[in-house]
Amino acid sequence: MDISNTENIEKSEGGFICCGCGEWVGFSDSIGTRHRNHCPRCLCSRHLDKEVSGDRSADCGGCMDPVGLTLKHEGTDKYGRPKKGEVMIVHRCRVCGEVSINRMAADDDEREILNMFASSSSMAEAERENFKKRGIRILDDGDKDEVYVQLFGKGFGVR
Ligand SMILES: [Zn+2]
Ligand SMILES: [Zn+2]
């Protein structure tokens, strides 16, 4: 893709050039991606997100890699079992290490999400602990059913 061309488009229309794969990511009203902050193809994001509460380092501009999935508003019920919230993508900034949690978008590449989920399930325990300290539980194989149901709906078939 011609980068100089896409920069012109970026000025006139909503969107950004992905810092991960270099592709143009446009905003579209039709699929609920007006607030899209990550690439649907490689899921990378740029560290500019001002919607994350407490994140005031929005001028970092670093590329944020998807490192795993988590569940939003997760807590425990009265039996101490984890409640299921919305599956979210966990991003980590390559530059400053800041972590953010983002909603999946309707046009996110499902294979990419599953690939990323698969590699995150073998995340080192120490790294997993680091997320836990931030209150983020990185999903693992035990959450597979929930991830599939949220991605593909109930009664999904393995693709
Ligand atoms: Zn990308
Ligand atoms: Zn950053």
- Distance from residue 75's CA to the centre of ligand 2 (Å): 28
- Distance from residue 96's CA to the centre of ligand 2 (Å): 4
CA pair distance 69, 104, nearest whole angstrom: 10
- Distance from residue 100's CA to the centre of ligand 2 (Å): 10
Are the C-beta atoms of residues 147 and 123 closer than 8 Å to each other? no
Cα 128 to chain center, whole Å?
A: 16
Q: Which ligand is nearest to the CA of 39?
A: 1
CA pair distance 109, 85, nearest whole angstrom: 21
- Six token digits for residue 90: 């966990």
- Distance from residue 46's CA to the centre of ligand 2 (Å): 8
Residues forming beta bridges with residue 102, ordered by sequence position? 89
- Distance from residue 6's CA to the centre of ligand 1 (Å): 14
- Distance from residue 149's CA to the centre of ligand 1 (Å): 25
Residue 25's CB: how many other CB atoms inside 10 A?
A: 27
For the chain, give every domain's residue range.
40-152
Residues forming beta bridges with residue 99, ordered by sequence position? 92
pTM comes to 0.77
- Distance from residue 12's CA to the centre of ligand 2 (Å): 26
Q: What is the DSSP string of 123-156?
A: --HHHHHHHHHTT-----GGGHHHHHHHHH-TT-
Per-residue pLDDT of the chain (159 residues; tens, 9 = 90+): 445 455 544 444 678 889 999 999 887 655 554 567 899 999 999 887 555 455 454 678 899 999 999 998 767 888 887 677 899 999 999 999 999 999 998 889 999 999 999 999 889 999 999 999 999 999 999 999 999 999 988 766 554
| CB contact set of 105 (below 8 Å; sequence gap of 6+) | 31, 32, 33, 36, 38, 40
- Distance from residue 73's CA to the centre of ligand 1 (Å): 27
- Six token digits for residue 77: 């019920």
CA pair distance 35, 48, nearest whole angstrom: 12
Are the C-beta atoms of residues 65 and 94 closer than 8 Å to each other? yes
